[in-house]
C-alpha cells in the first residue's frame, strides 16, 4: 500500500477506534502512526490496541509506528464547598496547602513545588487559562493573588504557571510505570509531556534504554526558551499547540510553530504538529475552512507529520477525519507553490560525508529522470538525512531491522520496506531495484538513486551513491550469479 503524499498522519486511538475493523480502516484511509494516549484507559486497553496494530501490520506487510504519549504531571486545585464559585475581576483570592474545602476567597493548591517557584508578579492560570490571577504576595505554603480574568472556578481544575520553571520532573510515578509498560510492550516512540529542560528528556532516555525513541512535546514557555538544547537530546519533537496557546499569547504560537519546524528539519529530526487540527470533526463529518487551512499550513511548513487527537479517538467520524487529512495533504503537495516554499526553506548546513551523499542524491533526482531515492539504513540516520533534503521523488527506506523501519514511519516522504541483511553494495543495488519495481516506484526503463554505506551493517557509514536502471537484465544477472 503506497501513500501518494509525503507528510505523515498520526491518529490517536480511543473509544471510537478500538476494534480491528476501525483501526484497519484508519490505516487504509492514511494513518501512518497510531498514538496511544496514556492519560486515558488502562494498560489492558493499550495492550489490546497495540496487538491489533501489530496484527494489521502483519496482514498488510507494511511497518506501522506506535507512539505512547505519557501524561506528565497534572497540577490541579483542590475541591470547593458547593463545588463551584464565581471569581470577579479585581478580587483577592488565595491558594494554599490547607486541605479544607475552598470557597470564594481561597482553595487548596496541593503542589508545594509551585509555591517554591512563584514570585510576586507571576501569573497563575486555571481551567486552561479561562481564569487568570496575578501573584501579589507568596511564601512556601501560600500565594495571595488578584483576579485579572474572572469566571467560575470548580473542583480539581488544572493549573498552569507559564512564566516560571517549576522544580518538577517531567515524569510522575504514573509516567514511570507507563513508560516501562510501553517499552516492554514494544512501542516505537515515547512522547514526553511537561518538558521544561533537556534534563527531563535525558531522564526519559535513561529509563527507555534504547527500547523506544523519545519525542519531546513542546507545550511550555520554558521548553520554547530551551528548545535548541532540548532538540539536541530528543529523537523527535511534537509542537503541542494546545498548552502552548494557554501559557503563551495565542498570537505567538504560529511563529513559534514555524520556527520549531524549521529547526527540527535542519537537525533531521521528525516533528509533529498537533492539537485541534480538525477539532470540529469530532461531531461533524466535514471540517471548517480554517481547520483545513491550519493543516495545509503545517504541510507547507515542511512538518513531518500532522496529528489527530479526539477527532480519531473519541469523535463520531474517525475515518473521515483521517481521509480529510490525506485529501488535504495530496492537494497541497500537488500545488507548484508547495515545492517553492519547501525548497526556499532548505538549509545547507552539511558537515559530513553522509550529508554530502544525500544532498547529491537529491540534486541528481531533481536534475535527471530519477523515480525514487533508495536509502539502505541500519539506524535510520541516512533516511532522516535524505528526508531533511525534502526531495521531489519518493524515499524508499530499506532496512532488515523492523524497529528502525517502524520509527521511520514518522519521517517525511518515507516508504519503509523490510530487506534481508546485505553484505555487498551490489546486493544493495539489486535489492533497491527489485523493491522499487515491486512497489510501483519505477518501471524497467526508469532510474533510481541508491545510497548505502560500506562496511555494511554498521550504523552511520553512508558513503556510496549509485544511479541504477531498473531493467530485468540487472535482476536476472544477479539471480544467475
Q: Which residues are catalytic?
A: 35, 76, 217, 275
* 142: alpha, beta or left? (left if phi > 0; alpha if psi -120 to 50): beta
Q: What are phi and psi of 98, to 5 degrees?
A: -65, 125
Number of CB atoms found within 10 A of residue 75's CB: 20
Cα separations in angstroms, 194 against 150, 165, 199: 26, 11, 12
Are 16 and 316 a contacting pair, CB within 8 Å?
yes
Short-list 227, 468, 243, CA closest to 369: 468
Short-list 44, 401, 42, 51, CA closest to 34: 51
Stated as kind and residue range, the H or E segment containing 344 is helix 336-344
Are 271 and 237 a contacting pair, CB within 8 Å?
yes
Give CA–CA dist 448/256, Å, rounded: 37
With H, G, I as helix, E, B as strand and everything else as coil, classify residue 36. strand
Which cell numbers hold the place of 250?
495565542
- Nearest-10 Cα torsion for 201, 202, 205, 207: -110
Which cell numbers hold the place of 370?
530519477
Considering Cα of 143, then 145, then 148, then 154, what sign does the dihedral take? positive
Short-list 69, 82, 318, 359, CA closest to 216: 69
**Quick one: how far is CA 353 from the chain centroid?**
28
With H, G, I as helix, E, B as strand and everything else as coil, classify residue 347. coil
- Answer whether the bond into residue 195 is a cis peptide, omega within 30°: no
**Pairing mode of beta strands 106-108, 92-96:** parallel
Stated as kind and residue range, the H or E segment containing 427 is helix 425-438
Short-list 188, 287, 275, 206, CA closest to 238: 275
Residue 209 C-beta-side C-alpha neighbours within 13 Å: 8
Short-list 70, 88, 67, 288, CA closest to 172: 70
Are 34 and 13 a contacting pair, CB within 8 Å?
yes
Number of CB atoms found within 10 A of residue 343's CB: 14
Short-list 46, 51, 19, 20, CA closest to 35: 46
Amino acid at each position: 500500500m503506497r501513500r501518494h503524499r509525503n507528510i505523515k498522519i498520526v491518529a490517536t486511538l480511543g473509544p471510537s477506534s478500538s476494534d480491528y475493523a476501525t483501526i484497519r480502516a484508519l490505516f487504509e484511509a492514511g494513518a501512518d502512526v497510531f498514538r496511544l494516549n496514556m492519560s486515558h484507559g488502562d494498560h489492558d486497553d493499550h495492550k489490546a490496541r497495540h496487538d491489533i496494530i501489530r496484527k494489521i501490520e502483519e496482514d498488510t506487510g507494511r511497518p506501522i509506528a506506535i507512539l505512547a504519549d505519557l501524561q506528565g504531571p497534572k497540577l490541579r486545585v483542590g475541591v470547593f464547598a458547593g463545588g463551584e464559585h464565581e471569581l470577579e475581576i479585581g478580587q483577592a483570592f488565595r491558594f494554599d496547602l490547607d486541605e479544607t474545602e475552598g470557597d470564594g476567597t481561597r482553595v487548596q493548591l496541593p503542589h508545594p513545588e509551585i509555591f517554591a517557584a512563584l514570585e510576586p508578579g507571576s501569573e497563575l492560570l486555571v481551567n486552561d487559562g479561562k481564569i487568570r490571577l496575578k501573584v501579589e504576595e507568596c511564601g512556601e505554603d501560600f500565594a495571595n493573588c488578584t483576579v485579572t480574568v474572572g469566571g467560575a472556578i470548580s473542583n480539581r481544575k488544572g493549573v498552569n504557571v507559564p512564566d516560571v520553571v517549576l522544580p518538577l520532573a517531567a515524569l510522575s510515578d504514573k509516567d514511570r510505570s507507563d513508560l516501562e509498560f510501553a517499552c516492554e510492550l514494544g512501542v516505537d516512540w515515547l512522547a514526553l509531556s511537561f518538558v521544561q529542560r533537556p534534563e527531563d528528556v535525558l531522564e526519559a532516555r535513561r529509563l527507555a534504554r534504547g527500547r523506544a525513541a523519545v519525542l519531546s512535546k513542546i507545550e511550555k514557555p520554558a521548553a520554547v526558551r530551551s528548545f535548541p538544547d532540548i532538540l539536541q537530546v530528543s529523537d523527535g519533537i511534537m509542537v503541542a499547540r494546545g498548552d502552548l496557546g494557554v501559557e503563551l499569547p495565542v498570537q505567538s504560537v504560529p511563529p513559534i510553530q514555524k520556527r520549531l519546524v524549521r529547526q527540527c528539519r535542519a537537525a533531521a529530526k521528525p516533528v509533529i504538529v498537533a492539537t485541534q487540527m480538525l477539532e470540529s470533526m469530532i461531531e461533524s463529518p466535514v471540517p471548517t475552512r480554517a481547520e483545513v487551512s491550519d493543516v495545509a499550513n503545517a504541510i507547507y511548513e515542511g512538518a513531518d507529520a500532522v496529528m489527530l487527537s479526539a477527532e480519531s479517538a473519541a469523535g463520531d467520524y474517525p475515518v473521515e477525519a483521517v481521509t480529510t487529512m490525506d485529501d488535504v495533504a495530496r492537494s497541497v503537495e500537488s500545488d507548484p507553490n508547495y515545492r517553492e516554499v519547501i525548497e526556499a526553506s532548505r538549509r545547507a548546513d552539511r558537515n559530513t560525508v553522509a550529508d554530502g551523499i544525500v544532498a547529491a542524491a537529491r540534486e541528481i533526482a531533481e536534475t535527471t529522470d530519477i523515480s525514487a531515492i533508495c536509502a539502505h539504513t541500519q539506524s535510520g540516520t541516512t533516511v532522516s538525512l535524505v528526508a531533511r533534503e525534502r526531495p521531489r521523488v519518493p524515499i524508499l527506506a530499506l532496512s532488515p531491522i523492523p524497529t528502525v523501519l517502524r520509527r521511520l514511519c514518522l519521517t517525511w516522504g518515507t516508504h519503509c520496506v523490510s530487506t534481508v541483511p546485505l553484505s555487498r553494495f551490489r546486493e544493495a543495488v539489486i535489492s533497491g531495484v527489485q523493491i522499487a519495481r515491486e512497489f510501483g516506484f519505477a518501471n524497467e526503463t526508469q532510474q533510481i538513486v541508491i545510497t548505502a554505506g560500506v562496511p555494511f551493517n554498521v550504523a552511520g557509514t553512508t558513503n556510496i551513491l549509485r544511479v541504477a536502471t531498473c531493467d530485468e537484465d540487472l535482476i536476472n544477472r544477479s539471480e544467475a550469479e
